[in-house]
Amino acid sequence: MYGEAERGWALGRRALEHGAVPWLLAVALATAGPHAGHLPLWLSLLVASAMLWRVWLWQQRRPLPPRWSLALLVIAAVAAIGWQFGSLFGKDAGVAMLVLFMALKPLEMHSRRDALVVIMLGYFLLLTHYFYSQSIPTGLWLLAACTLLTGALLRLHGGAQPVIAIARQAGLLLLQALPFMLLLYLLFPRVTGPLWGLPQDAHAGLSGLPSQMSPGSISNLTLSGAIAFRSRFAGEIPEKADLYWRGPVFDEYDGVTWRGSRQRGTVPGPAPVIEARGPAHDYSSILEAHNQRWLLALDVPTRLPPDSSLTATLEARTREPLRIRSRFSFSSVLDYRANRIEAEASLQQALTLPAQGNPRARALASEWQSRPPAMIAEAALAVFRHENFHYTLRPPLLGADAIDEFLFDSRRGFCEHYASAFVFLMRAAGVPARVVAGYQGGEVNPVDGYLTVRQSDAHAWAEIWLADEGWLRVDPTAAVAPSRIEQGIVAALPAGEPLPGIIRLDADWMRDLRNRWEAANNTWNQWVLGYNPQRQREVLSRLGLPDPDWRSMTASLAVLCGLALLVVALWTLPRRRRDDPVERAWQRYCAQLERRGVTRAGWEGPLDFAQRVAREKPELAALTSEAAEHYAELRYGQSNGEQLRRLQQCVQRLPPQRREKV
C-alpha cells in the first residue's frame, strides 16, 4: 500500500502534459474573465496580459518565468489592490485577489498538482460571481463554466481524448449529480440570512431611493430602468394616477438638502391614526434589496407584514435594512384621513425653515398668510400651473438660494424641485408641510400579471396638514406635467431626455419580449433565489410534510439521498464494467494468473500484486510487472490507445498453462 501512495504522490508531482495547458487556460478565462466589469482597469489589463503571456509561452514551448519574479509581481499587485480598495478585506478586494491568483498561477504551473490548484481555485471563483449578479444568464454561464472545469479535470487525469468525448463525460457526471442537487435544494434547512458573515461592502452596490433628498437625487435615479419592486393585487389594480408608493418622509431642511427627522429612529412616536374612507386593496410585493428600512407600501397601508411597523409619518418600516430580495403582504386604502389630531412637536417640525435664505420665496408666501391653508396650497399650485415652468431631467445648477432661483429664474426642474419648492412655500406661509419620496405608477406585465415598478418611476411629492382633515397628499408635479401622473414619465418628458431605452420601447414585439424575459426572471427570483424558509415550508407542505422542522427535513434528506445514490450506482456500475476496456483487460490478466495459482486480493494494488507475483512465480515477474505498469498508467496517469493495446498483448503473451502429469 505504501508503494501505491508513493506512486500517487509521484504522479501528482509529474510534469504537466503540454496538451492539457489550453484546458486550464480556458478555465482561468471562464472563471476570471466575467469579473472584468467589477475590477479596476489596471488589474483587468494585468490579468489579460498574464493570460496572453502564458498562451505565448505555451505556443512557443518556452520555459516559465522564475518564481522570484512572480513573487515580486504578486507582492506589487496585492499592495496595489490594498491601495485601490483601502483594504485587503471585503468583497471587492477579496474577489480582486482571487482573480489575480487565478491569472498568475498558470505562470508557475509545472506539475499536475499545480493544475489541480487552478481547477480547485476555479470552482471556488465561480461562487464569487453571485456577489454581483444572480440573474438567469449568470446561472447559465456558471453551469457552462462548471462543465468546463469538470472537463478539464477529466482531461488532466484521462489524457488526450476528443473534446466531444470529454464534454459528454463531464455532462454525464453533472447529470448524475442533478438528483442530489435537487434534493439539497428542496430539503436542506433554510436560514433567513447567510451562513457566514458578509464583508462590510457586500451591499455597497444596492440602489434605490436615497436617505436624503437634494436637487438631482431623484432625477439621477430615474435614469435607471432597473426594477425596484413588483406587486400583485388580489383584486383589480387601482388607476395609475392613484399608485403612490410611499417611501421615506423628509421634514428637516437646511437650505439645500431634505432629511428625515433625526429623532425618528431614536424616540418612538405615537402610532398614526388612519381613518379609511374607501375600500382596502390587498396585494403582495417583491421588493429588491435597497439596504434601507422602508417597505414602499401603497399610500397608505393599513395592514403590514410581520416584523414591521408604521411610523408617525406613515412610513412602513422593517426592523433591519432590506438586504435581500423579499416578499411582503400589505393592505392599503387610497382614500383616508391620517392624524387629524397631530402632535404639536410634529406640527412645529413641519413648519421649520432655515433662518436665512430665499427671500423672494418668503416674500411671495407672506402674501398668502391671511388666506385659509387650503387656499394657500391652491395659490402655490396655481403658480406652477399658470407660469412658464418646465418638467425636465436636465435642470440647470442652482446656487445658495436654490428655491428662489428655481421659482423665479430657471423654472426648470424635476419632481424634487417642485416638491421642495412647494413645501418651502407652505412652511413660509404657515402651513405644516413635508416632502415624501417614493415611486409613482407602474406597468402591468401581461405575462405574469405583476405590476412592475422601476427606478425610473421614482417620484417626490408633498403633504400638508389641515385641521379636521389631517395630512393630505399634494403633488405639485401634477400641476406642471399631469401626464407624468396619469400616463408615466415617458409621456411627460420630451423625446430628447436621457431616459433608459428599456422604458422607451415602441415596437410591440420588443415590449412582448421584455415582458416575457422579466416574467421569467420573476419566476427565477421567487423559486430559486427567493427559496426562503417560508417558501420551503409551502413546498414541503404540498409534498406531504405539513409541519417540517430541521429534524424531519434532515431525515428525509438522508433517506432520499441514499436512494438516489443507490439508483445512480445501479445505473453506473454495470455500465462501467461493460464499457471499460482497461478494467476488462486487467481482469482477464488477473484471471489467467489465478489459474496458475496466484490470486489477487481485492485490496491489492497492481504494483504490489506484481511484486508478489515476482516472489511466487519468478518466470512471470517481467510480464506481470509490465502489465501492472500499463494498467497503473492507464488508470492513474495518462491513458492512450497504444498503452491499452500493450496491456491487451500482455494477456496474449502469457505462456500456455502446463498440465501436470498424473
- Kindly state whether residues 321 and 458 are assigned to the same domain: yes
Query: How many CA atoms, within 13 angstroms, populate the side-chain half-sphere of residue 31?
Result: 31
Using one digit for the tens of pLDDT, what is the confidence trace for 616-654? 888 888 988 988 888 888 877 666 667 788 888 888 888
Residue 18: active-site member: no
Domain-located, residue 169: no
- Kindly state whether residues 53 and 136 are assigned to the same domain: yes
Residues 6 or more apart whose Cβ sits within 8 Å of residue 91: 131, 198, 199, 201, 202, 204
Matching residue, cell 421567487: 526
Q: 527: which DSSP letter?
A: I
Rounded to an integer, the average pLDDT of 191-197 is 50
Residues 6 or more apart whose Cβ sits within 8 Å of residue 105: 28, 114, 117, 118, 121
Q: In this model, does residue 533 exceed pLDDT 50?
A: yes
- Kindly state whether residues 297 and 437 are assigned to the same domain: yes
Q: CA-CA distance, 273 to 339, in Å (whole number)?
A: 5
> Can you give the pLDDT at residue 501?
60
> Can you give the pLDDT at residue 202?
47
For residue 231, give its domain range: 212-363+432-503
- Kindly state whether residues 138 and 52 are assigned to the same domain: yes
Q: In this model, does residue 585 exceed pLDDT 80?
A: yes
> Can you give the pLDDT at residue 214?
83
- Kindly state whether residues 154 and 221 are assigned to the same domain: no
Using one digit for the tens of pLDDT, what is the confidence trace for 346-375? 999 999 999 999 999 999 999 999 999 999
Matching residue, cell 481524448: 161
Any bridge partners for residue 443, and if so which?
A: 452
Helix 606-616 and helix 621-636: axis angle, to 10°? 180
Using one digit for the tens of pLDDT, what is the confidence trace for 335-352? 999 999 998 989 999 999
Considering only 152-161, 280-289, 496-505, 523-532, which range has the smallest mean pLDDT? 496-505
- Kindly state whether residues 224 and 336 are assigned to the same domain: yes
Q: Are strands 227-233 and 280-287 parallel, antiparallel or unpaired?
A: antiparallel
Task: Out of 35, 459, 630, 650, pick the active-site residue.
Answer: 459
> Can you give the pLDDT at residue 216?
74
Task: Out of 415, 417, 590, 650, pick the active-site residue.
Answer: 415
> Can you give the pLDDT at residue 660?
41
Q: CA-CA distance, 495 to 511, in Å (whole number)?
A: 18
Domain end among 449, 482, 503: 503
Domain-located, residue 411: no
Q: In this model, does residue 210 exceed pLDDT 90?
A: no
Q: CA-CA distance, 468 to 275, in Å (whole number)?
A: 12
Matching residue, cell 426642474: 413
Domain end among 472, 503, 534: 503
Q: CA torsion, points 38, 41, 46, 49, in degrees to nearest 10?
A: 100
Q: Report residue 582: phi and psi, to 5°.
A: -65, -50
- Kindly state whether residues 217 and 156 are assigned to the same domain: no
User: How far is residue 662 from each of residues 291, 594, 659, measured CA to CA in Å?
Assistant: 93, 21, 9
Domain-located, residue 599: yes
Q: How confident is the model at residue 248 (pLDDT cuts 50, 70, 90)?
A: very high
Any bridge partners for residue 229, and if so which?
A: 287, 453
Q: In this model, does residue 2 exceed pLDDT 80?
A: no
Residue 254 vs residue 188, higher pLDDT: 254
Rounded to an integer, the average pLDDT of 446-457 is 91
- Adjacency order of strands within the sheet including 280-287: 301-303, 326-333, 280-287, 227-233, 451-454, 443-444
User: How far is residue 567 from each of residues 175, 176, 653, measured CA to CA in Å?
Assistant: 13, 10, 40
Say what the pTM is.
0.69
Query: How many CA atoms, within 13 angstroms, populate the side-chain half-sphere of residue 409?
Result: 13
Using one digit for the tens of pLDDT, what is the confidence trace for 214-227? 877 787 777 788 88
User: How far is residue 540 from each of residues 306, 333, 465, 552, measured CA to CA in Å?
Assistant: 22, 34, 50, 11
Give the angle subtended at the CA of 471 by the CAs of 467 and 473, to the nearest 5°.
Answer: 130
> Can you give the pLDDT at residue 465?
95
> Can you give the pLDDT at residue 575?
53
Nearest to 94 by CA among 173, 178, 198: 198
Q: CA torsion, points 631, 632, 636, 637, in degrees to nearest 10?
A: -90
Nearest to 158 by CA among 361, 20, 30, 51: 20
Domain-located, residue 383: no
Q: How confident is the model at residue 5 (pLDDT cuts 50, 70, 90)?
A: very low
Residue 475: active-site member: yes
Q: How confident is the model at residue 572 (pLDDT cuts 50, 70, 90)?
A: low
Q: How many domains does the chain have?
A: 3
Domain end among 450, 484, 503: 503
Amino acid at 387: E
Domain-located, residue 227: yes
- Kindly state whether residues 114 and 234 are assigned to the same domain: no
Using CA of residue 311, residue 312, residue 314, residue 315, what is the dihedral sign?
negative
Task: Out of 457, 475, 630, 650, pick the active-site residue.
Answer: 475
Q: How confident is the model at residue 204 (pLDDT cuts 50, 70, 90)?
A: very low
Any bridge partners for residue 284, and if so which?
A: 232, 329
Q: Strands (DSSP E) along 50-120, which ranges?
A: none
Domain-located, residue 450: yes
Domain-located, residue 242: yes
Q: In this model, does residue 487 exceed pLDDT 90?
A: no
Q: Left, alpha or beta for 389 (phi > 0: left; psi -120 to 50: alpha)? A: beta
Residue 415: active-site member: yes
- Kindly state whether residues 238 and 127 are assigned to the same domain: no
